[in-house]
Chains A and B, each alone.
Chain A
Amino acid sequence: MTGYVLRRAALSIGVFVAMAVLTYLGIAALPGDACTALLGKFATAGKLAQCRAEHGLDAPVLQRLGDWMLGLLRGDLGYSVKRSAPVSELIAPRIRNALLLAGVASLLAFPAAIAVGLATGRREQSKVSRAVDSTALVAMTLPEFVTASVLWLVLSVWLPILPAVTVVSSDDSLLDLLPNVWLPAITLAVLVFAHVMRSMRASVSATSRRPFADAARLRGVPERAVVRRHILPASLPPTVNVVAVTAAWLLTGTFVVEVVFNYPGLGRLAVDAIADRDTDLILALTLLGLGVFIVASFLADTVIRLLDPRVRAGVGRA
C-alpha cells in the first residue's frame, strides 16, 4: 500500500508540474496581457510599459515561470494584477464557498442517487424504474442554465421562498451565505443525482444478473441479505469513480450555475481571471482544480481497493 501511495504521489507531482508549465506557456501565447486588460481602451504605450515593468511582465516568459515556481515552493501563490491583491487572499474565501456549495449539492444528491439507483436497478424493467431513468436522462441533458432558470422562476419569483441571486460578499460569514447556497446547490444536485443514479442503476442491474447473486439466492440467502452482502459491494466501485469525478467537478466546474445565481465560487473567478489575463490567479486556480481531481481520483481508487478484494489482489487490473 505504501509503495502504491508513493507511486501515485510521484505521478501526481509530475502531472502538476507539467500542467503548470503548459498553463503558463498557454497564457503567454494568448494575445494581450494583464496590463492591456487593466488599462483598457485608453492605454498609452507609456502607461502599458510602466504597468508591465511594475508587475514584472516585461521579463522573458521562462524567467517569469521560474520565479513563479520558486514562489510556489515558498508557499507564495503570486499577486493578482487586476485585483491588486495577493492570490491567496482572493481564493481563500472562494475555496470555502466552493466547498459549501459542493458539500450541500453532494448531500442532496449522492445518498439519494445511490439509494434510488439501487432500488431501480434491481427492477430494471418495471414501469417506475423506467420512468425514473427517463426523467434522469432529461435532467442530465437539460443545460444547467435551463434547470437553473426554472428553479429561479418557481422558487424565487412565483413562490418566492429562496433568494434569486447571492447578494452577499464572497468573504461574508457562512451563516450569511447559507440561504444563498440552496438554489445553486439544488440545480447542481439535479444534474449530479441523474448522473450518479444512472450509473448506480446500470451497475446494480448488471450485478444482479451475475451468477454469484443467483448462487446466493439458491443457497436460500434472503433477498435483503443478497443485496446488502453481495450486490451492493460489487456494484459500488464503478459508482464510486463516478462520484469522485462528479464531486471534483462540483468543486471546480460550476461556472454556469455560479454566474446564473451570482454565487461567489471558484468557477467564475477562474473565467474572469482568464479574461483578465491574470496569470498568477489563473495558475493558482488551474492547479487547485488539478489538485482536486488528483485527490478525488486517489480517494476513489483507495475506496475501491478497500471495497473490492480483486483490486487489492491485483486481479482484474490491467
Chain B
Amino acid sequence: MKYKMSSDRRSRRGRGAVLAVAALLAGAAAAACGGGDSGSKGVLRVAYYAASGAETMDPYDGNRFWPTINMVFDRLIGVDKDFTPIPELATVWEPNADLTEWTITLRDKVTFHDGSTFDSADAVYSINRMIDPEFDSPVRAVLGIITKAEAVDPLTVKLTLASGEADLPVLLADYRALMTPEGSQDTIGTKPIGTGPFKMEKLDAQGTTVLMANEQYFFGAPKVARIEMPNIADAAAATQALSAGQVDLMLTIDAKSAALFSDTSKFTVQRIASGDWNAIDFRVDQKPYDDPKVRKALRIAADRQALTDLVLGPGGGVPSCDTPVWSGDPYRWDGDCPQDIEGAKKLLAEAGYPDGIDIEIFTSDVEEHMVELVEAYQEQVKAAGIRVTLTMTDASSYWDNVWMMEPAFVDSWGQRPAAQVLNEVYRSTATWNPTGQADPELDAMLDDARSTLDAGQRTEKYRAIQQYLFENTATFVPYHKTLVRAMSAEVKGIEPVVIDAVRWEKIEVG
C-alpha cells in the first residue's frame, strides 16, 4: 500500500522529468531486463529475505539455511496435505506393542547426489547427530526421545525410544530431520550432498544460491531445471522484486502487502493456516502468577478474535483457547473461550485483588507482532481491572535476558506437531518451559497420550490435555498465524498448504 499511495501523490508532477532520465538510461536497462530474466522458463526464482550471514547447509545446526535444506535433503517420513505421515526415504514403519521400538524400512536404490547409495548406515549416522547431546542440535528437542538408532541390515533401521511415542512418524517428519551421508559432519555445511530433488550448484546465502534439478530423484525428475534464491535484504524489497517480476515466489509476505498482488492474471496469493503462534507467558514462580485464579483471570479477560484481527489483520490468524496445537493438527481442541470480563473480575477478587491488579509485561520487536500483542491486550483487559504496563526491551538480548527471566513476557514459537509442542514447551522437565510451570498431572497425561496406540483414543486424550491447559496454564495463547504466500501466476504445483507439505519437485514455472 505504501508504494501505491506515494506514487499517486507524486507521479503526475514528476513523471516528465523521470521519463526523460529513464530514456537516457534505456540502454543500460535493456541489459538489465533482457535475456533470461523475462522468460525464466525452467527457472524458479525464490526470494530469500531472512539472511543472517550465519547460514549453513547442516540441517541439524541452529543456523540451517531454510528452505534450501528441504530442496537438497529428504526426511525419512514426510507429511501429506492433511499432515498425516507419508513415505519419503522410509517406506514402512512399524512400532512394537508398547511403542518404544520402531522398525523402519528404507527405500531401496536411492542414491545421494554424488552417486553413493543411501542406506541404514547413513540413517543411523544422521539420527545420531540429531540426538547427540554434545552437538545439541535444535532437532534434539523433537527427536530427543530416541535413545538408540541401529542398523539391522542395509535397508532396516531400529529406533529405541525413552518412552512409548505413537507419533514418532510425525516427529520424524520435522523439516530438519533430514538424511545426510555418513561421516559428512565437517563438510555438509558448505558442500551439501543429499538425496533430494535439487543439487547444490552454488551456495551463497548472502548473494544468490543456485540449485540444479536432480534428474535421478526417486519421486521423479523435478519440473523445474533450476532454482535461484537471491538474498533480498528485507520483505518489502522482496515484495518489490516480485511485483516487478524479478522473482517468482515469496514463501511468506506481510498480510498487509497482499493487496499488491490482487491482480490474479499476474499473481497467485495463498492464505495458509499455520502453526506459528505468539503467547504471553506468566512465570508461576513469581507473584501474583503463582495463583491459578490470577492466571485464568488474565487469560479469560481477553477477546481472542478481536485480538487476532487487531494484531494480525482481519483473516490474519485463527484464534486459540490457549492451546499451542494449531488448527491443521488432527489433535487440535477447538474450545469455546469468549471474553469473560465478569468472570475475570470475580477470579481476581477471590485471589485477593478486588480492586483490580497491576502487571508489567516485557516485550521487544525482536519478531513481528510481539509488541502489538501487548498493546492490544492492554486495551482489552482494562475493563476487567487489569492494568498492564508495557515494557520495551532491547531486541538483541531479548531471548537471553528477558525471555524466561522476567515475571511476564511475550513469546513466539514456530509450528510444531502436538506431540512435540506439548512436550517441548509444557512438560515439567522441558528445557524451554517458559513459565516454569511443573505439573506432574500434566506430565502423566502427556505420557499416557503419547503411548496410546489407538488413534481415536489418542486424539481424545490430546484434546483433554488442551482442555486441561485452558483451566490451568500460565501461557496465554491467543492465536495461530495465517501465512500469506505470493507467487507469479506462472508458478504452478504449489498446494496451499504449510511448507512442510510442499513438494519442491512438483513445482512448475510457465
Q: B33: CB under 8 A from chain A?
A: yes
Are A167 and B230 in touch, CB under 8 angstroms?
yes
B28 nearest CB across to chain A (Å): 6
Are B397 and A161 in touch, CB under 8 angstroms?
no
Instruction: Name the residue on A nearest B141 (C-beta).
Output: A42
Complex contacts, B391 vs chain A, CB 8 Å: none
Q: B468: CB under 8 A from chain A?
A: no
Tell me the complex Cα distance, A83–B6, Å. Answer: 36
Are B18 and A151 in touch, CB under 8 angstroms?
yes
Tell me the complex Cα distance, A80–B206, Å. Answer: 14
Identify 15 new A-B residue pairs, CB closer than 8 A, beyond the known A157-B243, A262-B233, A275-B395.
Answer: A36-B397, A39-B62, A41-B403, A44-B431, A82-B54, A154-B19, A156-B243, A160-B245, A161-B30, A169-B207, A179-B33, A262-B237, A276-B52, A276-B53, A276-B396
With A164-B244, A275-B395: A42-B62 Cβ-Cβ less than 8 Å: yes
A152 nearest CB across to chain B (Å): 6
A-B pairs under 8 A by CB, number: 165
Q: A116: CB under 8 A from chain B?
A: no
Are A153 and B7 in touch, CB under 8 angstroms?
yes
The chain B residues found within 8 Å of chain A, CB to CB, are 2-4, 6-7, 10-11, 14-15, 18-19, 21-22, 25-26, 28-33, 37, 45, 52-54, 62-63, 136, 138, 141, 204, 206-208, 230-234, 236-238, 240-241, 243-247, 394-397, 399-401, 403, 431-432
Tell me the complex Cα distance, A168–B234, Å. Answer: 15
Tell me the complex Cα distance, A157–B204, Å. Answer: 28
Tell me the complex Cα distance, A178–B28, Å. Answer: 8
Q: Which single member of A179, A258, A277 contacts B31 (CB below 8 Å)? A: A179
Instruction: Name the residue on A nearest B232 (C-beta).
Output: A262
Instruction: Name the residue on B nearest A271 (C-beta).
Output: B233
Are B396 and A31 in touch, CB under 8 angstroms?
yes
Nearest 5 pairs of A and B residues by beta carbon: A169-B207, A179-B32, A32-B397, A164-B244, A167-B230
Instruction: Name the residue on A nearest B229 (C-beta).
Output: A167
Are A31 and B241 in touch, CB under 8 angstroms?
no
B180 nearest CB across to chain A (Å): 20
With A150-B14, A172-B207, A262-B232: A163-B33 Cβ-Cβ less than 8 Å: yes
Complex contacts, A161 vs chain B, CB 8 Å: 22, 25-26, 29-30, 32-33
Are B399 and A40 in touch, CB under 8 angstroms?
yes
Tell me the complex Cα distance, A268–B241, Å. Answer: 18
Tell me the complex Cα distance, A149–B8, Å. Answer: 11
Tell me the complex Cα distance, A166–B207, Å. Answer: 10
Which residues of chain A (120-159) have a CB below 8 Å from chain B?
A: 142, 146, 149-157, 159
17 inter-chain pairs at a CB distance below 8 angstroms, sorted by A residue, are A30-B394, A31-B394, A32-B400, A41-B399, A42-B432, A43-B400, A150-B10, A152-B240, A154-B15, A154-B22, A155-B22, A163-B246, A167-B246, A168-B207, A171-B207, A182-B28, A186-B25
B401 nearest CB across to chain A (Å): 6
Q: A170: CB under 8 A from chain B?
A: yes
B398 nearest CB across to chain A (Å): 8
With A42-B432, A84-B54, A170-B207: A36-B6 Cβ-Cβ less than 8 Å: no
Tell me the complex Cα distance, A160–B244, Å. Answer: 8
Tell me the complex Cα distance, A41–B396, Å. Answer: 10
Are B18 and A31 in touch, CB under 8 angstroms?
no
Q: A292: CB under 8 A from chain B?
A: no
Chain A interface bracket (under 10, 10 to 19, 20 to 34, 35 or more): 35 or more
Are B33 and A160 in touch, CB under 8 angstroms?
yes
Complex contacts, A168 vs chain B, CB 8 Å: 207-208, 230
Tell me the complex Cα distance, A170–B206, Å. Answer: 8
Tell me the complex Cα distance, A24–B354, Å. Answer: 51
Tell me the complex Cα distance, A80–B54, Å. Answer: 10
Tell me the complex Cα distance, A275–B52, Å. Answer: 10
Q: A272: CB under 8 A from chain B?
A: yes
Q: A95: CB under 8 A from chain B?
A: no
A108 nearest CB across to chain B (Å): 8
Tell me the complex Cα distance, A84–B59, Å. Answer: 18
Complex contacts, A100 vs chain B, CB 8 Å: none
Complex contacts, B45 vs chain A, CB 8 Å: 167
Complex contacts, B400 vs chain A, CB 8 Å: 32, 36, 43, 48
Tell me the complex Cα distance, A168–B209, Å. Answer: 10
Complex contacts, A83 vs chain B, CB 8 Å: 53-54, 206
Complex contacts, A31 vs chain B, CB 8 Å: 394, 396-397, 401
Q: A216: CB under 8 A from chain B?
A: no
Are B394 and A44 in touch, CB under 8 angstroms?
no
Complex contacts, B3 vs chain A, CB 8 Å: 149, 152-153
The listed residue with most B CB atoms (<10 A of its CB), out of A43, A153, A170, is A153
Q: A295: CB under 8 A from chain B?
A: no
Q: Which single member of A36, A156, A159, A182 contacts B396 (CB below 8 Å)? A: A36
B210 nearest CB across to chain A (Å): 11
Are A169 and B206 in touch, CB under 8 angstroms?
yes
Instruction: Name the residue on A nearest B397 (C-beta).
Output: A32
Q: Which single member of A30, A38, A44, A149 contacts B6 (CB below 8 Å)? A: A149
Are A154 and B244 in touch, CB under 8 angstroms?
no
Are A165 and B232 in touch, CB under 8 angstroms?
yes
Complex contacts, A79 vs chain B, CB 8 Å: none
